[in-house]
Amino acid sequence: MRVGISKLLYKDKALFLAYDQGLEHGPTDFNAQNADPEFIFKLAFEGRFSAVACGPGVAEKYYEGVYRDVPLICKVNGKTSMAKINPISRQICSVDRAIKMGASAVGYTIYDGSPNEPTMFHEFGKVVEQAHDYGLPVVVWMYPRGPNIKELDNEVLAYSARIALELGADIVKLKFNDDIENLKWMVRCAGKTKIVISGGERVLPEQFLTEAQKVMGAGVLGMAVGRNVWQSDKPFSVAQALKSIVYEGKSALEAAQLVK
Amino acid sequence: MRVGISKLLYKDKALFLAYDQGLEHGPTDFNAQNADPEFIFKLAFEGRFSAVACGPGVAEKYYEGVYRDVPLICKVNGKTSMAKINPISRQICSVDRAIKMGASAVGYTIYDGSPNEPTMFHEFGKVVEQAHDYGLPVVVWMYPRGPNIKELDNEVLAYSARIALELGADIVKLKFNDDIENLKWMVRCAGKTKIVISGGERVLPEQFLTEAQKVMGAGVLGMAVGRNVWQSDKPFSVAQALKSIVYEGKSALEAAQLVK
Amino acid sequence: MRVGISKLLYKDKALFLAYDQGLEHGPTDFNAQNADPEFIFKLAFEGRFSAVACGPGVAEKYYEGVYRDVPLICKVNGKTSMAKINPISRQICSVDRAIKMGASAVGYTIYDGSPNEPTMFHEFGKVVEQAHDYGLPVVVWMYPRGPNIKELDNEVLAYSARIALELGADIVKLKFNDDIENLKWMVRCAGKTKIVISGGERVLPEQFLTEAQKVMGAGVLGMAVGRNVWQSDKPFSVAQALKSIVYEGKSALEAAQLVK
Amino acid sequence: MRVGISKLLYKDKALFLAYDQGLEHGPTDFNAQNADPEFIFKLAFEGRFSAVACGPGVAEKYYEGVYRDVPLICKVNGKTSMAKINPISRQICSVDRAIKMGASAVGYTIYDGSPNEPTMFHEFGKVVEQAHDYGLPVVVWMYPRGPNIKELDNEVLAYSARIALELGADIVKLKFNDDIENLKWMVRCAGKTKIVISGGERVLPEQFLTEAQKVMGAGVLGMAVGRNVWQSDKPFSVAQALKSIVYEGKSALEAAQLVK
Amino acid sequence: MRVGISKLLYKDKALFLAYDQGLEHGPTDFNAQNADPEFIFKLAFEGRFSAVACGPGVAEKYYEGVYRDVPLICKVNGKTSMAKINPISRQICSVDRAIKMGASAVGYTIYDGSPNEPTMFHEFGKVVEQAHDYGLPVVVWMYPRGPNIKELDNEVLAYSARIALELGADIVKLKFNDDIENLKWMVRCAGKTKIVISGGERVLPEQFLTEAQKVMGAGVLGMAVGRNVWQSDKPFSVAQALKSIVYEGKSALEAAQLVK
């Protein structure tokens, strides 16, 4: 019954290139180069990412040809950052539509702790069932958010990890609060649901690679990175460096050499 | 037409191991051992529990092999304790999906008295019909909750017992407020819908076993326990003790001998 | 096209035994005897009621054997009195499920005048269509309720009677405010939708029987009684007395002799 | 693709007898005679109305026999005047059910300008599609209503006329504010969606007939009248008078002779 | 998988005649001539527009005969300007119905930034999937709207352009804030989703044509115009002028000669 995630892995590790920021944050994250989805797919392909994640529109119009060698995680819900309302992200793409565009997995964001949590839990339950019925694994972006929610508290992060397991996700994308012991606890709480750590906002490459080494050492499945790669001046080099850490277990120091 | 509950019983009594706390409370309830669903299923199996209750994700990833000897009650709705909203728990798993994971019964939580009661009543009605159409019994977690609701009042508890019968549940999980006469009244109000008493927060083993003896004496079907077993230092021994009370009618004093 | 109601009548009159109080009011209405649905079905059978009305759970677990000689009206929506919200009663049982349990008719409560009226009107429309498609008549409990609604005003009661006709109910259960001329007007306003008068809270037998004689004289189809019968010390005798008025047109004085 | 409305016309004009007041206003509009739907159907038949409009319950129980010679417009949504909420009228009858009762057209009320306008627009869209798929024309009661809406403003009325065309109605029922030039503009704005003018509250027969002459002169399709006919002491005579204006183009003065 | 938009183009450019103002603004935008949809379709046909956009009712009743040579974009959602609520436009026409009326594409308005954004995103996702399954392209009217939203800010406009791509629209209708560099950035952000610029309120012909020349020079697909054409005294001449700019790349100065 269990749906395999191996198609999303390389050397049993996950290195996802995330590209849903155009919808979630708007093009302020972009420059002329990375605003172009084709560049991103090229980067995913040449950078040997184990999967690429984006929304339905980008996938339908750009995910083609050789880029299809990189497995696609279609984000099936989404929202903008414009509306100032209690966090909610509704489904914008059916599982069927994701399959039609060639997706190997579906992604869904849950704002756990939001007053709208019940709506997302309910919708997510259906997405998981439909995806698993087709043999597609499900990646959940688990982002604690809402009044009085402290997103980076140890307990909140561990709770988020556990929710992913409880609801049936196969992989959960979480933030890292720099507490390595808590991350190990999160790994335990998520159990057979595997954790990928979110890259987050752009930081210095050394800092980013150091974080990558840390989290891989804590036993996570991998990383889901976006801005730290495609906002970089040397995206292909950063990708190489990241690969050496995630896939080959190199140190951040060694990897940094690759960012010439 | 009536759906049998015998598959959830042993010696005509119910001893359910409840493990939905990871979603409902978060992993603060857990330690390294009991955070692992495999440990829980092992405990359910070796402890000869008459059924085990957990959410869809845990069941899909861990309910396999020999553990399938223990009948599964899949909790098909759920919520976290993070969002501070009027109590509501939406469906996160279809009855079909529960069957696919091998469930012998479905579980559903109703917060009776909540301003969201109508939504849960409506959803529960469909769950009962679908489950019964497949021959699956339904266990309802009936938790009075909401503004001005006194959860442990005699009247509120008896009302909750009755709602379970009225809505068509086969088994209802209720709290015990230590009033044995009221529990007997609850048993009458629930009629052919059988009551299992919730174990609740961890207390001293002696206290817990004494409560078990009391409630079994009042004519309930059994108990649904979690934290008092798997948070214990000696979970297997506590399970033995509990079994001797629930299945064999031993006294709390006799049973306590088994918690070496 | 019109669905017949004759199966719910005896000697062309309706005497319904109502037993939905366990859900609507809670077991405070009950004692050890009448908390047991079996007692109620026995009373309905031996008391020669023309139909018995209860919720899905009670029917599924108790409506069997010889009791099936009494036609069942399954109440397909319901709520508790615990939640302090604008009156709303959502569907808790499908028409299909009602049929599976052997129902001869479905019942539905509308709180006309409630801010939630539109939801109930919409849901009721579907219930009527489904029931009529199966040839099942529909009984509506029409209870004006909500901010600024005076439940027993003449105009409000007549409006409620008319709504039942307009929405397509076959029988409407209404309260009687002791104004016999207004009741006659209500009968006219309801037209081919027939009125049964609600028994309401328990009063002295003489008072209850006098009311029965009054309303029958105003041309209603019959009565839907509950607490005044099964809360009585002599429920079978009260039933006999009531039958003599409703079915045989006896006076309250004559009937009172039967309550020995 | 366009659905014909000829079945609702006589001599290419519309004279509808409206009888949804029992639900919309309550029986305060009625007396013993006109509370009886049979009287209304008789009046529609003998008065040679081109169609009669009523709700599903009235139609199902009274629209039969010779009365079927008068085409039926089934009002598929409705509300009472009891609940003090933002105007909303939800669907209470499916198009399928309307067809089963012999309807030749469906009617739907939209409160344009209400905060609930989106819900009614959405529901109406489905009603139009279903009705047209069966070849049934759609009559919309377009009533501007809501905070800050001035129901009889010229602009508001012209807007309402246009909405009916935009949404796909075949006929729109509108109020007349006594500005004949604006009514001509409304006729233009509605285009191929034809206007019938609402009779409204009862006024003196002379005043009513004068209005009828005025509006017919402005190029509307006809009138939808209720209270001014069936609340009259001489309903059949008023109907005769009205017919002479609507169908034969007589003057109000001539017509008034018929109200002996 | 990608749906072609060529059927909506002429010489690879888009010149859409927009005519949804009757619903969105009301007939205050109209005069006796342009209130008539037939005039608009004639203008679209003779003016050689590459497509015409209107709501379902107008299309069903007027889109016929030779006018069918002009491809139709059916606007499948809509609202009035009467209700003062948070911007929301619900679906009023199914994709199936649009196809039945001969539509070559569907149009949908999203108010991004509105508190109701989630509802529109969710609904739009289904519209896109259904339309694409039939091979119909989707045109989205992307109008940032809501509390604190500055509709013409550079960032807001670029965000809106990007949302259209992310959600899967084929063409997006946007406003132009007179910043040509930002428009070029919008074109990049929208990628393979092509931009048409909204004509907006009526301005002087010279100003309008100058704007047309500007936006075409920035690389957009074309323009969607309404009031600046059909409110003009010389609508056919303005159309000629516009065509020379959009299809043939003439300057505004040359084009202005055509508006005799």
To the nearest whole Å, the CA of B31 is away from the closest chain A CA by: 9
Q: How much is the pLDDT for D53?
A: 98
| B54 and B21 Cβ atoms separated by less than 8 Å | no
Active site residue D7: no
Contacts of B78 in chain A (CB under 8 A): 121, 166-167
Given D13, D67, D111, D173, which residue is catalytic?
A: D173
Residue type, B171: I
User: Chain C window 179-218: which residues touch B at a Cβ cutoff of 8 Å?
Assistant: none
Given E173, E194, E243, E250, which residue is catalytic?
A: E173
A contact chains, 3+ CB pairs < 8 A: B, E
- Regions in chain A scoring below 50 on pLDDT: 1
Mean pLDDT over each residue of chain D, to the nearest integer: 96
CB contact under 8 Å between A90 and E121, yes or no, is yes
Given C173, C194, C243, C250, which residue is catalytic?
A: C173
Distance CA E107, CA E123 (A): 13
To the nearest whole Å, the CA of C110 is away from the closest chain D CA by: 12
CB contact under 8 Å between A56 and E125, yes or no, is yes
Strand partners, E15: E223
Distance CA E66, CA A10 (A): 59
- Res. E1: pLDDT tops 80: no
Q: Inform me whether the C-beta atom of residue E65 falls under 8 Å from chain D C-beta atoms.
A: no
Q: Inform me whether the C-beta atom of residue A9 falls under 8 Å from chain E C-beta atoms.
A: no
Q: How much is the pLDDT for E135?
A: 97
CB atoms within 10 A of CB E26: 23
Phi, psi of C177 (to 5 degrees): -100, 20
Strand partners, C197: C174, C223
Q: Inform me whether the C-beta atom of residue A12 falls under 8 Å from chain B C-beta atoms.
A: no
Q: Inform me whether the C-beta atom of residue C147 falls under 8 Å from chain D C-beta atoms.
A: yes
CB atoms within 10 A of CB D12: 11
CB contact under 8 Å between C1 and D60, yes or no, is yes
Most distant pair of Cα atoms in chain D: their distance: 48
Arithmetic mean of pLDDT, C19-46: 96
Distance CA B74, CA B95 (A): 9
- Res. E2: pLDDT tops 80: no
Distance CA A21, CA A42 (A): 17
Contacts of D91 in chain C (CB under 8 A): 122, 125
Helix (H, G, I), strand (E, B) or coil at E193: coil
| CA nearest neighbour of C190 among C150, C219, C226, C212 | C219
Contacts of D114 in chain C (CB under 8 A): none
Model confidence at D3, in pLDDT bands (50, 70, 90)? Answer: confident
**How, if at all, do strands D90-91 and D77-78 pair?**
antiparallel
Residue of D3, D162, D167, D187 to mutate, interface with E, max E Cβ within 10 Å? D162
With vertex at residue A192, the alpha carbon angle to CA A188 and CA A193, rounded to the nearest 5 degrees, is 90
Q: Inform me whether the C-beta atom of residue A121 falls under 8 Å from chain B C-beta atoms.
A: yes
As for the ipTM of the complex, it is 0.97
| C142 and C107 Cβ atoms separated by less than 8 Å | no
Q: How much is the pLDDT for E3?
A: 85
Query: DSSP characters for C233-249?
Result: SSHHHHHHHHHHHHTT-
Distance CA C211, CA C207 (A): 6
Contacts of D56 in chain C (CB under 8 A): 125, 128, 166-168
Contacts of A23 in chain E (CB under 8 A): 162-163, 166-167
Model confidence at E110, in pLDDT bands (50, 70, 90)? Answer: very high
Going residue by residue through chain B, which has 260 residues, state the pLDDT in tens, using 9 for 90 and above: 568 999 999 999 999 999 999 999 999 989 999 999 999 999 999 999 999 999 999 999 999 999 999 999 999 999 999 999 999 999 999 999 999 999 999 999 999 999 999 999 999 999 999 999 999 999 999 999 998 899 999 999 999 999 999 999 999 999 999 999 999 999 999 999 999 999 888 999 999 999 999 999 999 999 999 999 999 999 999 999 999 999 999 999 999 999 97
Helix (H, G, I), strand (E, B) or coil at E203: coil
To the nearest whole Å, the CA of D27 is away from the closest chain C CA by: 6
Distance CA B225, CA E19 (A): 66
Contacts of E193 in chain A (CB under 8 A): 57, 61
- Res. C1: pLDDT tops 60: no
pLDDT tens figures, A121-155: 999 999 999 999 999 999 999 999 998 899 999 99
Arithmetic mean of pLDDT, C6-29: 97
Model confidence at D111, in pLDDT bands (50, 70, 90)? Answer: very high
Q: How much is the pLDDT for D154?
A: 98
Phi, psi of E99 (to 5 degrees): -65, -40
Helix (H, G, I), strand (E, B) or coil at A139: strand
Give the contacts of B133 (CB within 8 A, at least 6 positions apart).
none
| CA nearest neighbour of D245 among D236, D237, D254 | D254
Give the contacts of B23 (CB within 8 A, at least 6 positions apart).
A162, A163, A166, A167, B55, B78, B79, B80
Q: How much is the pLDDT for C171?
A: 98
Contacts of A155 in chain B (CB under 8 A): 26, 28
Whether there are 3 or more C-beta pairs closer than 8 Å between D and E is: yes
Q: How much is the pLDDT for C3?
A: 85
Q: Which residue of B117, B124, B189 is in closest CB contact with C27?
A: B189
Residue type, A59: A
pLDDT tens figures, E32-90: 999 999 999 999 999 999 999 999 999 999 999 999 999 999 999 999 999 999 999 99
The whole-model pTM stands at 0.97
**Burial per residue of B31-50, b for 16 or more beta-carbon CB atoms within 10 angstroms, e otherwise:** eeebbbbebbbbbbbebebb
Query: DSSP characters for E98-149?
Result: HHHTT-SEEEEEE-TTSTTHHHHHHHHHHHHHHHHHTT--EEEEE---STT-
Give the contacts of A70 (CB within 8 A, at least 6 positions apart).
A17, A41, A44, A45, A49, A50, A51, A52
| CA nearest neighbour of C182 among C220, C149, C147, C226 | C220
Residue A151 DSSP symbol: T
Q: How much is the pLDDT for C200?
A: 83
To the nearest whole Å, the CA of D183 is away from the closest chain C CA by: 32
Given C63, C67, C143, C247, which residue is catalytic?
A: C143
CB contact under 8 Å between C121 and D79, yes or no, is yes
Distance CA C229, CA C29 (A): 12
- Res. D118: pLDDT tops 90: yes
E contact chains, 3+ CB pairs < 8 A: A, D
Give the contacts of B89 (CB within 8 A, at least 6 positions apart).
A118, B77, B78, B79, B109, B110, B111, B120
To the nearest whole Å, the CA of D104 is away from the closest chain C CA by: 16
CB contact under 8 Å between E30 and D189, yes or no, is yes
CB contact under 8 Å between E193 and A61, yes or no, is yes
Query: DSSP characters for C12-39?
Result: TBEEEEE--HHHHT-GGG--TTTTSHHH
CB contact under 8 Å between E149 and A35, yes or no, is no
Given B13, B143, B247, B250, which residue is catalytic?
A: B143
